[in-house]
């Protein structure tokens, strides 16, 4: 997500370099940028338009803490 955030800001600043211009660019419904895994765009609310992933925490050894995040789709 950090890569996507940096890419979004860089793309937005290429249109205009002030904070107001960046905000206007990102608020534009036509705005899009290439993210790491998918195109980046925003909903009218300002939230990123992206699919969420549901995970659960269960005992495991992958993280080194004794607990791992496991996708609901891949038990």
Identify the bridge partners of residue 40 per DSSP, sorted by sequence position: 33
pLDDT tens for each residue of the chain, 75 residues long: 899 999 999 999 998 889 999 999 999 999 999 999 899 999 989 899 988 778 899 999 988 899 998 888 755
- Give residue 59's pLDDT: 94
Please give the pLDDT value at position 8. 94
pLDDT at 67: 93
Q: Domains of the chain: which residue ranges?
A: 2-40
- Measured CA to CA in angstroms, residue 36 lies from 8, 30, 56 at distances of 11, 19, 24
């Amino acid at each position: 997500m950090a890569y996507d955030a940096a890419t979004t800001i860089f793309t937005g600043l290429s249109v205009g370099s002030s904070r107001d211009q960046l905000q206007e660019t990102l608020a534009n419904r036509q705005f899009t940028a290439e993210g790491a895994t998918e195109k980046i765009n925003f909903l009218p609310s300002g939230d990123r338009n992206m699919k969420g992933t549901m995970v659960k925490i269960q005992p495991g050894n992958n993280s080194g803490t004794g607990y791992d995040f496991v996708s609901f789709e891949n038990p």
